[in-house]
Structure 1
Amino acid sequence: MTSLSMKSRVLFAALATCALPTTAAIAQDSQGIQPLEWNFRDHTAIQLYGQINKGILTFDDGDESTSYGLVDNDNSSTRLGITSTTNFDSGWEMFSNIEFEYQPHASNTVNQLDKNGADYGFDKTNFRKAEIAFSSERVGKFWLGQGSMASDGTAETDLSGTGVIAYSSVSDIGGGLFREDDGTLSNVTTSGAYSNLDGLGRKMRVRYDTPTFSGFTLKASYGQDTLNDDDDSLYDIAATYAADYNTVEVAASVGYARDEGDDADILSASFSTLHTPTGLSFTLAGGQNDADVNASYGYAKLGLEREFFAVGSTAFSVDYYDGQDISSDGADSTSYAFAMVQNVDNWNSQWYVSMRQFEYDDDVSDYEDGLSTMAGLRIKF
């Protein structure tokens, strides 16, 4: 905790730039509610931002239906952050970001035996980001502090418009424990049976991103999970691509990660394309984790996003997930879902609903299928 506090003090010092503010405003226009922003005379901008993402979740385990009431949507958690950006005359930019999340009743942790699933405490693990970066268009970007490793997000490229409620991490809208065919609740959770093997996530790290060349960016990082007091070495490399070919948008990511503590090599990749005139999109993701148990999965999504209403676009999607050996050797986990998201642009909000089927099998027992349904709202500012 001490080391994090020292880094936080450095970051807060960067935010408190020695300059007089010239403007501070919060506004709502045709593009939605804008973040609270202060602009300073030394070309520094400080911005406060965040989001609230809540929904009502139910889970039918094949025998009983459990309602968990209002939960935090783990697809995109409730969070608050502050950034500072300073542009220097030399062409360099200094950026810092502190962000934390608070979701004591999360959609991926509740279960039939613990309907509340709540942890109302606040500690260092609530910090998503506490980082500083220096960048230039010619040299690239150097990161230091708690934040995304190079491979973070490489399994989550998605242009469908329904990522707030449905994407490759299908267990974020979970529901709880699978029920065995004889009616007994097992100890197999939806969050344990499914994973999108998305690299190394956010850690205390050093990272470098190259400049973008023809849509390609390369990244590399080294870090440790200091928020969970784990000093095992973590390192990874990744590549991303994004391009707009007139009527077609394309985005892709691929990453390799090494976790020395788990003796694991993780490969993850995703691809998404959007035909802008029709709003049709197609997304693929997959990954493999070579450790004690070699887990792998594939994911596919078909989406449609159109302007049916003046308030904002409406997005629909169907997806399918197929995983092998995710929770244990010999385990098979499949899932498919329908999702709909209605954007309300003037309020930076998304209203959503989803239904997701979970089907799980392993060498221990036979299990009933599970069905989770969730409806909710995300508001960003």
Structure 2
Amino acid sequence: MKTKILVIAPGLCLAAIPAWSQDLTFTHPSGATATFYGQLNLTYQHVDDGEESNDDVVDNGNSVSRMGFWIDMPMGENKLRMNFETGLGFKTTSETSQLEDADWIDWQRTDLRKFEAVYIANFGSVWVGQGSMATDGVAEIDNSGTSLAGYANLPDMAGGYEFRDGELLSGIAIGDVFKDFDGGRRFRIRYDTPKFNGFMFSAAFGQEILAEDDDADYYDIAARYGYESEMFKADAAIGYAWKNADEGDTEQLIASTSVVHRPTGLNATLAMGDGDDDSGNYGYFKFGWTGDVIALGSTAVSIDYFEGNDYVISGSDSKSWGIQAVQAFDDYGIDAYLGYREYEFDDDTGADYQDISALILGARWKF
């Protein structure tokens, strides 16, 4: 599939250069189009583990830098779409830590995000290739406008850093004890139903082909709902995923919802997840506001709180709070942001884990 996409795209683009209209979209005389897109999202990261602090300029793991293109081919009343997307391989906020100084640029095949095709018809949509499983995004619905600075997947901000037990590193990282269990991207086949009164249902089966030593089979199902009016915008989703592997099966239940009151800009986001294999559970809440403070674009601010239990060690507690702010500059395709978060972990072993604080300050440019 990847080879076909790469071969078709240059032909469409070269044939359609004179028809370049806007937003990097090229149109072929047949009616097919190729649309290129991408983003650059570098950020300053400061992390303090209670004993030492580290500063870096890296890619923002909340929304990594990437490039890609869509090819759309009409087929009567139906449509065939193909998508290729890759991360740029920059070191991210989730990869920094006290122990390793990873290369700033190290593109690997796991940076390939999507190479897929989708056939869209009146019976629904069928996806084939590397891309989102049915539960991808189900735990992370967020209409606050501040997800660039922080959202339910807390490890994206500083997940590689380990908590200190006293002065010594404990071996327990933020990413181990703040998982949101959201579905990922894999080489899969997925089916989405048409929308019925705002509802859509999905199911997928996939395997991991980009990472080594993963022979498991992945299955998931999800239901999504969307509603919009002059007063409210609301989205919700619930999903169930299970993994069949030689070392044992695992199951996860996740859900999230986010509601915006349009006249005031006030919004609230809720998320939850439960690893049925005793890998932890959590609840997440965010409260925010969006509005027009300056004429250049919308302003969004929010606060959030995460509380989890039983990650890594039975009886453990994972707690975090954060604040976020995002300012859009619409004419330039830029979103500037600031995020701050405190991570706290505790268990019944008698260890004295120090809190970790993290700050990011940066801007994302999209085209």
TM-score by length of 1: 0.91
Show the counterpart of 2:73.
86
- 1:303 paired residue among 282, 288, 298: 288
Pairing of 1:96-115 with structure 2 (within 5 A): 96-114=82-100
**Alignment of 1:25 onto 2:20:** yes
Pairing of 1:330-349 with structure 2 (within 5 A): 330-349=315-334
- Secondary structure of residue in 2 paired with 1:62: coil
Show the counterpart of 1:30.
none
Letter aligned with residue 110 of structure 1: T
Q: Please list the CA deviations of residues 173-222 of structure 1 after superposition, one character each: whole Å capped at 9, or x if unmatched.
A: 116121223x11221111222111102x0000001101111111110111
Distance 1:312 1:111, change over 3 A: same
Q: How many residues align?
A: 361
Give the C-alpha shift of residue 104 in structure 1: 3.2
**Alignment of 1:124 onto 2:109:** yes
Root-mean-square deviation over aligned CA pairs: 1.7
**Contact residue 163 and residue 173 of structure 2 kept, 8 A:** yes
Show the counterpart of 2:217.
233
Give the C-alpha shift of residue 234 in structure 1: 0.8
- Secondary structure of residue in 1 paired with 2:176: helix
Mapped to 2, the partners of 1:108 and 1:366 lie a distance apart of 24
**Contact residue 14 and residue 96 of structure 1 kept, 8 A:** no
**Contact residue 47 and residue 359 of structure 2 kept, 8 A:** yes
Show the counterpart of 1:66.
54
Show the counterpart of 2:187.
204
- 2:4 paired residue among 7, 10, 31: 10
Letter aligned with residue 25 of structure 1: W
Point out where structure 1 has 5 or more consecutive residues left out of the alignment: 1-6, 28-33
**Contact residue 17 and residue 44 of structure 1 kept, 8 A:** no
Mapped to 2, the partners of 1:252 and 1:23 lie a distance apart of 42
Mapped to 1, the partners of 2:232 and 2:4 lie a distance apart of 43
- Secondary structure of residue in 2 paired with 1:373: strand
Mapped to 1, the partners of 2:64 and 2:82 lie a distance apart of 21
My pick for the range that moved more, 233-242 or 96-105, is: 96-105
**Contact residue 74 and residue 173 of structure 1 kept, 8 A:** yes
Mapped to 1, the partners of 2:108 and 2:339 lie a distance apart of 32
Pairing of 1:1-381 with structure 2 (within 5 A): 7-15=1-9, 20-21=15-16, 23-25=18-20, 34=23, 36-67=24-55, 69-88=56-75, 90-114=76-100, 116-118=101-103, 120-136=105-121, 138-174=122-158, 176-181=161-166, 183-199=167-183, 201-229=184-212, 230-261=214-245, 262-291=248-277, 293-364=278-349, 365-381=351-367
> Percent of pairs identical after alignment?
35
**Contact residue 194 and residue 327 of structure 1 kept, 8 A:** no
Distance 1:371 1:24, change over 3 A: farther
Letter aligned with residue 271 of structure 1: T
Mapped to 2, the partners of 1:159 and 1:225 lie a distance apart of 30
Distance 1:123 1:373, change over 3 A: closer
**Contact residue 333 and residue 365 of structure 2 kept, 8 A:** yes
**Contact residue 89 and residue 107 of structure 2 kept, 8 A:** no
Letter aligned with residue 65 of structure 1: S
Mapped to 1, the partners of 2:197 and 2:231 lie a distance apart of 18
Mapped to 2, the partners of 1:58 and 1:78 lie a distance apart of 19
TM-score by length of 2: 0.94
**Contact residue 286 and residue 299 of structure 1 kept, 8 A:** yes
Mapped to 1, the partners of 2:182 and 2:210 lie a distance apart of 19
Point out where structure 2 has 5 or more consecutive residues left out of the alignment: none
**Contact residue 337 and residue 357 of structure 1 kept, 8 A:** yes
Mapped to 1, the partners of 2:89 and 2:287 lie a distance apart of 30
Q: Please list the CA deviations of residues 242-272 of structure 1 after superposition, one character each: whole Å capped at 9, or x if unmatched.
A: 1113211110011111111251111110000
